[in-house]
Protein backbone atom coordinates (compact mmCIF):
# COMPACT_ATOMS: atom_id res chain seq x y z
CA UNK A 1 0.00 0.00 0.00
CA UNK A 2 1.36 3.42 -0.92
CA UNK A 3 2.28 5.97 1.73
CA UNK A 4 -0.51 8.20 0.44
CA UNK A 5 -3.21 5.60 1.00
CA UNK A 6 -1.62 4.59 4.30
CA UNK A 7 -2.27 8.08 5.68
CA UNK A 8 -5.94 7.69 4.89
CA UNK A 9 -5.90 4.35 6.70
CA UNK A 10 -5.31 6.37 9.89
CA UNK A 11 -8.81 7.81 9.47
CA UNK A 12 -10.16 4.26 9.44
CA UNK A 13 -8.23 3.41 12.63
CA UNK A 14 -9.75 6.43 14.35
CA UNK A 15 -13.21 5.28 13.30
CA UNK A 16 -12.47 1.80 14.63
CA UNK A 17 -11.17 3.33 17.88
CA UNK A 18 -14.39 5.35 18.30
CA UNK A 19 -16.56 2.26 17.87
CA UNK A 20 -14.23 0.23 20.11
CA UNK A 21 -14.27 2.70 23.00
CA UNK A 22 -18.04 3.15 22.68
CA UNK A 23 -18.58 -0.60 22.54
CA UNK A 24 -16.19 -1.19 25.45
CA UNK A 25 -17.97 1.31 27.70
CA UNK A 26 -21.38 -0.08 26.75
CA UNK A 27 -20.10 -3.60 27.41
CA UNK A 28 -18.81 -2.55 30.84
CA UNK A 29 -22.15 -0.95 31.59
CA UNK A 30 -23.94 -4.13 30.52
CA UNK A 31 -22.09 -5.98 33.31
CA UNK A 32 -23.28 -3.70 36.12
CA UNK A 33 -26.66 -2.39 35.02
CA UNK A 34 -29.97 -4.07 35.90
CA UNK A 35 -32.36 -5.36 33.25
CA UNK A 36 -35.98 -5.58 34.36
CA UNK A 37 -38.11 -4.94 31.30
CA UNK A 38 -41.80 -4.33 31.85
CA UNK A 39 -44.72 -3.27 29.65
CA UNK A 40 -44.76 0.26 31.04
CA UNK A 41 -41.09 0.84 30.37
CA UNK A 42 -41.59 -0.12 26.72
CA UNK A 43 -44.22 2.51 25.95
CA UNK A 44 -43.07 5.57 24.00
CA UNK A 45 -42.74 8.61 26.27
CA UNK A 46 -45.36 11.25 25.61
CA UNK A 47 -45.23 13.26 28.82
CA UNK A 48 -47.10 10.64 30.81
CA UNK A 49 -50.16 10.33 28.57
CA UNK A 50 -50.64 7.02 26.73
CA UNK A 51 -49.29 7.47 23.20
CA UNK A 52 -51.82 8.15 20.48
CA UNK A 53 -51.25 6.30 17.19
CA UNK A 54 -47.77 5.19 16.19
CA UNK A 55 -44.55 7.11 16.70
CA UNK A 56 -43.81 7.45 13.00
CA UNK A 57 -46.68 9.89 12.63
CA UNK A 58 -47.11 12.07 9.58
CA UNK A 59 -45.52 15.44 9.88
CA UNK A 60 -44.83 18.26 7.49
CA UNK A 61 -41.41 17.83 5.92
CA UNK A 62 -40.65 21.51 6.12
CA UNK A 63 -36.99 21.09 5.54
CA UNK A 64 -37.46 19.43 2.14
CA UNK A 65 -36.80 22.63 0.19
CA UNK A 66 -33.89 23.46 2.50
CA UNK A 67 -32.40 20.05 1.84
CA UNK A 68 -32.59 20.65 -1.92
CA UNK A 69 -31.04 24.11 -1.57
CA UNK A 70 -28.34 22.64 0.65
CA UNK A 71 -27.37 20.06 -1.95
CA UNK A 72 -27.03 22.77 -4.61
CA UNK A 73 -24.91 25.02 -2.39
CA UNK A 74 -22.77 22.22 -1.03
CA UNK A 75 -21.93 20.89 -4.48
CA UNK A 76 -20.99 24.41 -5.58
CA UNK A 77 -18.82 24.85 -2.49
CA UNK A 78 -16.93 21.73 -3.55
CA UNK A 79 -16.10 23.49 -6.83
CA UNK A 80 -14.96 26.61 -4.98
CA UNK A 81 -12.34 24.86 -2.82
CA UNK A 82 -9.78 23.79 -5.48
CA UNK A 83 -9.78 27.34 -6.84
CA UNK A 84 -9.56 28.86 -3.35
CA UNK A 85 -6.32 26.97 -2.66
CA UNK A 86 -4.79 28.34 -5.89
CA UNK A 87 -6.20 31.85 -6.18
CA UNK A 88 -2.83 33.42 -7.02
CA UNK A 89 -2.03 30.92 -9.75
CA UNK A 90 -5.24 31.57 -11.68
CA UNK A 91 -4.99 35.35 -11.15
CA UNK A 92 -7.48 37.81 -12.56
CA UNK A 93 -8.96 35.36 -15.08
CA UNK A 94 -9.81 32.81 -12.39
CA UNK A 95 -11.13 35.56 -10.13
CA UNK A 96 -13.56 36.89 -12.77
CA UNK A 97 -14.75 33.38 -13.65
CA UNK A 98 -15.31 32.43 -10.02
CA UNK A 99 -17.03 35.73 -9.22
CA UNK A 100 -19.48 35.00 -12.03
CA UNK A 101 -19.92 31.55 -10.46
CA UNK A 102 -20.57 33.05 -7.00
CA UNK A 103 -23.04 35.57 -8.48
CA UNK A 104 -24.92 32.71 -10.15
CA UNK A 105 -24.96 30.94 -6.78
CA UNK A 106 -26.35 34.03 -5.08
CA UNK A 107 -28.87 34.32 -7.92
CA UNK A 108 -30.27 30.91 -6.99
CA UNK A 109 -30.59 31.99 -3.37
CA UNK A 110 -32.30 35.26 -4.37
CA UNK A 111 -34.72 33.29 -6.56
CA UNK A 112 -35.65 30.98 -3.68
CA UNK A 113 -35.94 34.04 -1.43
CA UNK A 114 -38.30 35.85 -3.84
CA UNK A 115 -40.44 32.72 -4.22
CA UNK A 116 -40.85 32.75 -0.45
CA UNK A 117 -39.18 29.34 -0.06
CA UNK A 118 -36.87 30.49 2.71
CA UNK A 119 -39.73 30.84 5.15
CA UNK A 120 -40.14 28.01 7.66
CA UNK A 121 -43.95 27.91 7.47
CA UNK B 1 12.20 17.17 12.31
CA UNK B 2 12.43 14.57 15.06
CA UNK B 3 14.81 11.67 14.52
CA UNK B 4 13.93 8.67 16.65
CA UNK B 5 16.66 6.34 17.88
CA UNK B 6 14.65 3.33 16.80
CA UNK B 7 12.27 3.05 13.88
CA UNK B 8 8.68 2.55 15.11
CA UNK B 9 6.76 0.00 13.03
CA UNK B 10 3.51 1.00 11.34
CA UNK B 11 1.22 -0.70 13.85
CA UNK B 12 3.05 1.02 16.70
CA UNK B 13 2.68 4.41 15.04
CA UNK B 14 -1.03 3.80 14.46
CA UNK B 15 -1.51 2.73 18.06
CA UNK B 16 0.28 5.87 19.31
CA UNK B 17 -1.86 8.04 17.03
CA UNK B 18 -5.09 6.42 18.19
CA UNK B 19 -4.09 6.81 21.86
CA UNK B 20 -3.24 10.46 21.18
CA UNK B 21 -6.61 10.82 19.48
CA UNK B 22 -8.39 9.41 22.53
CA UNK B 23 -6.66 11.99 24.73
CA UNK B 24 -7.41 14.79 22.22
CA UNK B 25 -11.11 13.89 22.23
CA UNK B 26 -11.80 12.90 25.85
CA UNK B 27 -9.57 15.34 27.76
CA UNK B 28 -11.21 18.48 26.26
CA UNK B 29 -14.66 16.92 26.74
CA UNK B 30 -14.01 16.26 30.44
CA UNK B 31 -12.46 19.68 30.98
CA UNK B 32 -15.31 21.48 29.24
CA UNK B 33 -18.00 19.62 31.17
CA UNK B 34 -16.37 20.12 34.58
CA UNK B 35 -14.98 23.62 34.14
CA UNK B 36 -17.77 25.25 32.14
CA UNK B 37 -20.91 23.14 32.43
CA UNK B 38 -20.60 22.29 36.13
CA UNK B 39 -18.68 25.19 37.59
CA UNK B 40 -18.95 28.25 35.34
CA UNK B 41 -22.67 27.85 34.77
CA UNK B 42 -23.18 27.49 38.53
CA UNK B 43 -21.21 30.63 39.30
CA UNK B 44 -23.11 32.56 36.63
CA UNK B 45 -26.33 31.46 38.32
CA UNK B 46 -25.06 32.35 41.84
CA UNK B 47 -24.67 28.80 43.11
CA UNK B 48 -21.71 26.57 43.89
CA UNK B 49 -22.28 23.60 41.62
CA UNK B 50 -20.97 20.14 42.55
CA UNK B 51 -18.92 20.30 45.79
CA UNK B 52 -19.15 16.81 47.32
CA UNK B 53 -17.18 14.47 45.05
CA UNK B 54 -13.51 15.32 45.53
CA UNK B 55 -12.07 18.80 46.19
CA UNK B 56 -14.44 21.38 44.67
CA UNK B 57 -16.38 18.56 43.05
CA UNK B 58 -13.53 17.73 40.71
CA UNK B 59 -14.34 14.01 40.80
CA UNK B 60 -17.95 14.66 39.89
CA UNK B 61 -17.30 13.39 36.35
CA UNK B 62 -16.15 10.00 37.66
CA UNK B 63 -19.22 9.84 39.86
CA UNK B 64 -21.46 10.72 36.91
CA UNK B 65 -20.00 8.01 34.68
CA UNK B 66 -20.43 5.50 37.52
CA UNK B 67 -24.02 6.58 37.96
CA UNK B 68 -24.93 6.38 34.27
CA UNK B 69 -23.31 2.95 33.99
CA UNK B 70 -25.78 1.54 36.50
CA UNK B 71 -28.85 2.80 34.67
CA UNK B 72 -31.05 0.36 32.79
CA UNK B 73 -30.64 0.42 29.01
CA UNK B 74 -34.21 1.04 27.89
CA UNK B 75 -35.62 1.12 24.39
CA UNK B 76 -39.29 1.54 23.48
CA UNK B 77 -40.92 -1.68 22.26
CA UNK B 78 -41.98 0.00 19.02
CA UNK B 79 -38.47 1.28 18.27
CA UNK B 80 -36.28 -0.02 15.47
CA UNK B 81 -33.95 -1.68 17.96
CA UNK B 82 -30.82 -2.31 15.94
CA UNK B 83 -30.37 1.21 14.57
CA UNK B 84 -31.71 2.72 17.79
CA UNK B 85 -28.70 1.20 19.54
CA UNK B 86 -26.30 2.22 16.76
CA UNK B 87 -27.15 5.93 16.66
CA UNK B 88 -25.04 7.19 19.63
CA UNK B 89 -22.00 5.36 18.28
CA UNK B 90 -22.36 7.08 14.90
CA UNK B 91 -22.38 10.49 16.59
CA UNK B 92 -19.26 9.52 18.57
CA UNK B 93 -17.65 8.23 15.34
CA UNK B 94 -18.09 11.66 13.75
CA UNK B 95 -16.14 13.28 16.60
CA UNK B 96 -13.22 10.87 16.28
CA UNK B 97 -13.05 11.28 12.51
CA UNK B 98 -12.99 15.05 12.97
CA UNK B 99 -10.02 15.14 15.35
CA UNK B 100 -7.87 13.35 12.75
CA UNK B 101 -7.08 16.60 10.91
CA UNK B 102 -5.96 18.70 13.90
CA UNK B 103 -2.19 19.33 14.13
CA UNK B 104 -0.73 19.90 17.62
CA UNK B 105 2.87 20.62 16.69
CA UNK B 106 5.35 20.54 13.80
CA UNK B 107 5.53 16.74 14.03
CA UNK B 108 2.69 16.12 16.47
CA UNK B 109 -0.14 15.50 14.03
CA UNK B 110 -2.39 12.53 13.35
CA UNK B 111 -2.55 12.96 9.59
CA UNK B 112 -1.08 15.56 7.28
CA UNK B 113 -3.46 15.54 4.33
CA UNK B 114 -3.08 18.13 1.60
CA UNK B 115 -6.89 18.48 1.75
CA UNK B 116 -7.05 18.46 5.59
CA UNK B 117 -9.76 21.01 6.31
CA UNK B 118 -11.82 19.73 3.37
CA UNK B 119 -11.86 16.25 4.92
CA UNK B 120 -12.82 17.79 8.24
CA UNK B 121 -15.81 19.61 6.77
CA UNK B 122 -16.90 16.37 5.10
CA UNK B 123 -16.74 14.12 8.18
CA UNK B 124 -18.28 16.78 10.43
CA UNK B 125 -21.63 16.10 8.77
CA UNK B 126 -21.61 12.40 9.71
CA UNK B 127 -23.17 13.40 13.04
CA UNK B 128 -26.30 14.57 11.18
CA UNK B 129 -26.84 10.94 10.15
CA UNK B 130 -26.57 9.70 13.73
CA UNK B 131 -29.01 12.33 14.99
CA UNK B 132 -31.53 11.69 12.21
CA UNK B 133 -31.27 7.93 12.84
CA UNK B 134 -31.77 8.47 16.59
CA UNK B 135 -34.85 10.62 15.97
CA UNK B 136 -36.38 8.22 13.49
CA UNK B 137 -35.62 4.92 15.23
CA UNK B 138 -37.14 6.01 18.56
CA UNK B 139 -40.70 5.69 17.21
CA UNK B 140 -41.65 8.70 19.31
CA UNK B 141 -43.26 11.91 18.07
CA UNK B 142 -41.04 14.19 20.13
CA UNK B 143 -37.94 12.37 18.90
CA UNK B 144 -39.06 12.48 15.28
CA UNK B 145 -39.76 16.22 15.39
CA UNK B 146 -36.46 16.83 17.18
CA UNK B 147 -34.56 14.75 14.64
CA UNK B 148 -36.13 16.59 11.69
CA UNK B 149 -35.42 19.97 13.28
CA UNK B 150 -31.83 18.94 13.99
CA UNK B 151 -31.30 17.81 10.40
CA UNK B 152 -32.75 21.07 9.03
CA UNK B 153 -30.59 23.13 11.38
CA UNK B 154 -27.34 21.24 10.90
CA UNK B 155 -27.47 21.41 7.11
CA UNK B 156 -28.48 25.08 7.17
CA UNK B 157 -25.49 26.05 9.33
CA UNK B 158 -23.03 23.81 7.57
CA UNK B 159 -23.03 26.14 4.55
CA UNK B 160 -21.92 29.30 6.40
CA UNK B 161 -19.23 27.20 8.06
CA UNK B 162 -17.91 25.87 4.73
CA UNK B 163 -17.97 29.35 3.18
CA UNK B 164 -16.24 30.90 6.22
CA UNK B 165 -13.44 28.34 5.89
CA UNK B 166 -13.17 29.24 2.20
CA UNK B 167 -11.89 32.71 3.15
CA UNK B 168 -9.09 31.16 5.22
CA UNK B 169 -8.18 28.74 2.43
CA UNK B 170 -7.94 31.64 -0.04
CA UNK B 171 -5.65 33.59 2.29
CA UNK B 172 -3.43 30.66 3.17
CA UNK B 173 -3.42 29.30 -0.37
CA UNK B 174 -3.73 25.76 0.96
CA UNK B 175 -6.18 23.32 2.51
CA UNK B 176 -3.43 21.63 4.55
CA UNK B 177 -3.79 22.39 8.26
CA UNK B 178 -0.01 22.66 8.78
CA UNK B 179 0.40 25.06 5.86
CA UNK B 180 -2.48 27.17 7.19
CA UNK B 181 -0.65 27.34 10.54
CA UNK B 182 2.67 28.26 8.89
CA UNK B 183 0.97 30.90 6.73
CA UNK B 184 -0.21 32.65 9.90
CA UNK B 185 3.09 32.35 11.75
CA UNK B 186 5.35 33.71 9.04
CA UNK B 187 3.55 37.05 8.62
CA UNK B 188 3.74 40.06 10.90
CA UNK B 189 1.47 42.95 11.79
CA UNK B 190 2.74 46.49 12.46
CA UNK B 191 6.27 45.14 12.78
CA UNK B 192 5.29 42.85 15.65
CA UNK B 193 7.05 39.65 14.64
CA UNK B 194 5.92 37.59 17.64
CA UNK B 195 2.29 38.25 16.82
CA UNK B 196 2.47 36.57 13.42
CA UNK B 197 -0.60 37.35 11.35
CA UNK B 198 -3.47 35.26 12.71
CA UNK B 199 -6.38 35.16 10.30
CA UNK B 200 -8.74 36.38 13.02
CA UNK B 201 -7.50 39.88 12.12
CA UNK B 202 -8.06 39.72 8.37
CA UNK B 203 -10.89 37.19 8.44
CA UNK B 204 -12.77 38.57 11.44
CA UNK B 205 -16.12 38.28 9.65
CA UNK B 206 -15.24 34.70 8.74
CA UNK B 207 -14.29 33.96 12.36
CA UNK B 208 -17.59 35.28 13.70
CA UNK B 209 -19.58 33.34 11.09
CA UNK B 210 -17.57 30.19 11.85
CA UNK B 211 -18.17 30.44 15.60
CA UNK B 212 -21.92 31.07 15.12
CA UNK B 213 -22.09 28.06 12.80
CA UNK B 214 -20.18 25.94 15.35
CA UNK B 215 -22.65 26.99 18.04
CA UNK B 216 -25.50 25.86 15.80
CA UNK B 217 -23.78 22.62 14.74
CA UNK B 218 -23.36 21.71 18.40
CA UNK B 219 -27.04 22.58 19.04
CA UNK B 220 -26.00 24.76 21.97
CA UNK B 221 -28.38 27.52 23.05
CA UNK B 222 -29.44 29.88 21.46
CA UNK B 223 -29.58 27.26 18.70
CA UNK B 224 -30.95 24.38 20.81
CA UNK B 225 -34.32 24.16 19.06
CA UNK B 226 -33.88 20.40 18.28
CA UNK B 227 -33.77 19.53 21.98
CA UNK B 228 -36.01 22.35 23.20
CA UNK B 229 -37.01 20.93 26.57
CA UNK B 230 -40.09 23.10 26.98
CA UNK B 231 -41.76 21.72 23.86
CA UNK B 232 -39.97 18.52 22.80
CA UNK B 233 -38.90 17.03 26.18
CA UNK B 234 -35.40 16.28 24.89
CA UNK B 235 -35.84 16.04 21.12
CA UNK B 236 -34.07 13.13 19.46
CA UNK B 237 -32.63 11.98 22.82
CA UNK B 238 -36.06 11.61 24.50
CA UNK B 239 -36.11 7.79 24.48
CA UNK B 240 -32.44 7.26 25.30
CA UNK B 241 -31.44 6.30 28.80
CA UNK B 242 -28.38 5.06 30.64
CA UNK B 243 -25.06 4.90 28.93
CA UNK B 244 -26.35 5.49 25.40
CA UNK B 245 -27.63 8.88 26.51
CA UNK B 246 -24.26 9.61 28.08
CA UNK B 247 -22.51 8.81 24.79
CA UNK B 248 -24.63 11.48 23.05
CA UNK B 249 -23.66 13.85 25.84
CA UNK B 250 -19.93 13.04 25.68
CA UNK B 251 -19.94 13.34 21.88
CA UNK B 252 -21.60 16.77 22.08
CA UNK B 253 -18.88 18.25 24.28
CA UNK B 254 -16.04 16.36 22.65
CA UNK B 255 -17.15 17.83 19.33
CA UNK B 256 -17.23 21.27 20.94
CA UNK B 257 -13.58 20.78 21.89
CA UNK B 258 -12.57 19.49 18.45
CA UNK B 259 -14.34 22.35 16.65
CA UNK B 260 -12.54 24.76 18.98
CA UNK B 261 -9.23 23.09 18.05
CA UNK B 262 -10.05 23.51 14.35
CA UNK B 263 -11.09 27.14 14.85
CA UNK B 264 -7.83 27.87 16.68
CA UNK B 265 -5.83 26.39 13.78
CA UNK B 266 -7.83 28.30 11.18
CA UNK B 267 -8.09 31.67 12.87
CA UNK B 268 -5.77 31.88 15.89
CA UNK B 269 -2.55 30.53 14.40
CA UNK B 270 -2.73 26.96 15.73
CA UNK B 271 0.22 25.65 17.76
CA UNK B 272 2.60 28.40 16.70
CA UNK B 273 1.38 31.92 17.26
CA UNK B 274 2.75 33.28 20.54
CA UNK B 275 6.09 31.63 19.75
CA UNK B 276 6.56 32.91 16.22
CA UNK B 277 9.10 35.44 17.59
CA UNK B 278 11.72 32.75 17.11
CA UNK B 279 11.62 33.92 13.53
CA UNK B 280 10.97 30.72 11.63
CA UNK B 281 9.47 30.89 8.19
CA UNK B 282 9.60 27.21 7.32
CA UNK B 283 8.20 24.21 9.16
CA UNK B 284 11.61 22.49 9.15
CA UNK B 285 13.15 25.34 11.19
CA UNK B 286 10.76 24.85 14.09
CA UNK B 287 12.59 23.50 17.18
CA UNK B 288 11.62 20.03 18.38
CA UNK B 289 10.38 21.19 21.78
CA UNK B 290 7.43 22.84 20.01
CA UNK B 291 5.96 19.32 19.82
CA UNK B 292 5.57 19.51 23.60
CA UNK B 293 4.60 23.17 23.88
CA UNK B 294 2.29 23.05 20.84
CA UNK B 295 -0.38 20.84 22.45
CA UNK B 296 -0.42 23.14 25.52
CA UNK B 297 -0.91 26.19 23.31
CA UNK B 298 -3.69 24.42 21.42
CA UNK B 299 -5.34 23.39 24.69
CA UNK B 300 -5.25 26.98 25.97
CA UNK B 301 -6.78 28.31 22.76
CA UNK B 302 -9.40 25.55 22.84
CA UNK B 303 -10.37 26.60 26.39
CA UNK B 304 -10.70 30.24 25.36
CA UNK B 305 -12.93 29.39 22.39
CA UNK B 306 -15.11 26.91 24.29
CA UNK B 307 -15.43 29.51 27.05
CA UNK B 308 -16.97 31.84 24.44
CA UNK B 309 -19.27 29.06 23.19
CA UNK B 310 -20.46 28.29 26.74
CA UNK B 311 -20.75 31.96 27.69
CA UNK B 312 -23.09 32.53 24.74
CA UNK B 313 -24.96 29.35 25.64
CA UNK B 314 -25.68 30.50 29.18
CA UNK B 315 -26.51 34.08 28.21
CA UNK B 316 -28.93 34.07 25.28
CA UNK B 317 -32.53 32.91 25.04
CA UNK B 318 -33.44 30.35 22.39
CA UNK B 319 -34.20 31.27 18.78
CA UNK B 320 -37.60 30.36 17.39
CA UNK B 321 -37.40 27.68 14.68
CA UNK B 322 -38.28 30.02 11.79
CA UNK B 323 -35.92 32.74 13.07
CA UNK B 324 -33.17 30.16 13.24
CA UNK B 325 -33.58 29.09 9.60
CA UNK B 326 -34.02 32.66 8.38
CA UNK B 327 -30.85 33.75 10.15
CA UNK B 328 -28.79 31.07 8.40
CA UNK B 329 -30.18 31.50 4.89
CA UNK B 330 -30.81 35.25 4.72
CA UNK B 331 -27.97 36.64 6.85
CA UNK B 332 -25.07 34.24 7.30
CA UNK B 333 -24.85 32.65 3.84
CA UNK B 334 -24.98 35.92 1.80
CA UNK B 335 -22.52 37.48 4.27
CA UNK B 336 -20.16 34.51 3.98
CA UNK B 337 -20.32 34.58 0.16
CA UNK B 338 -19.57 38.31 0.21
CA UNK B 339 -16.64 37.68 2.56
CA UNK B 340 -15.28 35.04 0.18
CA UNK B 341 -15.59 37.33 -2.84
CA UNK B 342 -13.89 40.27 -1.10
CA UNK B 343 -11.09 38.06 0.22
CA UNK B 344 -10.46 36.68 -3.26
CA UNK B 345 -10.45 40.14 -4.88
CA UNK B 346 -8.00 41.50 -2.28
CA UNK B 347 -5.79 38.41 -2.60
CA UNK B 348 -5.49 38.87 -6.37
CA UNK B 349 -5.15 42.66 -6.18
CA UNK B 350 -2.27 42.60 -3.65
At B273-328, the pLDDT tens digits run: 777 666 677 777 777 788 888 888 889 999 999 999 999 988 888 888 778 888 88
Closest CB to A119: pick one of B69, B322, B345. Answer: B322
Residue B209 has pLDDT above 90, yes or no: yes
Q: Give pLDDT < 70 ranges for chain A.
A: 1, 55, 60-63, 120-121
Same domain assignment for residues A115 and A66: yes
Beta-carbon pairs below 8 A across chains A and B: 216
Beta-carbon separation of B159 and A55 below 8 A: no
The distance of A22 to chain B (nearest Cα, Å) reads 6
- Is A98 inside a domain boundary? yes
Beta-carbon separation of A28 and B138 below 8 A: no
DSSP labels for B244-283? HHHHHHHHHHHHHHHHHHHHHHHHS-TTTGGGGGG---SG
Same domain assignment for residues A27 and A74: no
What CATH number did the domain enclosing A103 receive?
A: 1.20.58.1610
Same domain assignment for residues A11 and A65: no
Beta-carbon separation of B247 and A41 below 8 A: no
Beta-carbon separation of B166 and A84 below 8 A: yes
Mean of pLDDT over chain B:
84
- Is A55 inside a domain boundary? no
pLDDT at B2: 59
Instruction: Look up the pTM and report it.
Output: 0.89
At B72-119, the pLDDT tens digits run: 888 888 788 888 888 899 999 999 989 998 988 888 888 888 888 888
What value does the mean pLDDT take over residues B240-248? 86
The distance of B43 to chain A (nearest Cα, Å) reads 31
Higher pLDDT, B47 or B228: B47
The distance of A42 to chain B (nearest Cα, Å) reads 4
Same domain assignment for residues A28 and A74: no
- Is A51 inside a domain boundary? no
Same domain assignment for residues A22 and A67: no
Beta-carbon separation of B139 and A54 below 8 A: yes
Q: Which residues constitute the domain of residue A22?
A: 1-37
- Is A22 inside a domain boundary? yes
Same domain assignment for residues A22 and A70: no
Q: How many domains does chain A have?
A: 2
Each domain of chain B, given as residue ranges in start order, spans 12-349
What value does the mean pLDDT take over residues B53-67? 85
The distance of A116 to chain B (nearest Cα, Å) reads 11
At B27-44, the pLDDT tens digits run: 989 899 888 888 888 888
Same domain assignment for residues A73 and A120: yes
What share of chain B in percent tops pLDDT 70? 95
Same domain assignment for residues A32 and A77: no
What value does the mean pLDDT take over residues B248-271? 89
* Interface residue of A3, A26, A58 to substitute, partner B, most B CBs within 10 Å: A26
DSSP labels for B169-183? HHHHT---HHHHHHH
Same domain assignment for residues A117 and A75: yes
Amino acid sequence: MSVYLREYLTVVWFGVAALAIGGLLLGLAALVRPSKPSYDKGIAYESGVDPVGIGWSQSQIRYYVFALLFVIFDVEAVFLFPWAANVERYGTFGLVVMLVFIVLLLDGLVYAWKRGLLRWV
Amino acid sequence: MIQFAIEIPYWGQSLLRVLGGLVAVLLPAGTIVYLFLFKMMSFMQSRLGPMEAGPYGSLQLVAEVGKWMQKEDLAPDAADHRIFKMAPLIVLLSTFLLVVIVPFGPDAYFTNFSVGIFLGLAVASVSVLGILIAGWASANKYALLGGLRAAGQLIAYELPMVLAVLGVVIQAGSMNMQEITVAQNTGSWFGLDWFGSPFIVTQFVGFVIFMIAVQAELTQAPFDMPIAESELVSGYMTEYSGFRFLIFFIAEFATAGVFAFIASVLFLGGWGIPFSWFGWDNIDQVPDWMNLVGPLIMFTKMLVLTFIIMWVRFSFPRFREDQLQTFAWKVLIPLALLNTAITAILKVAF
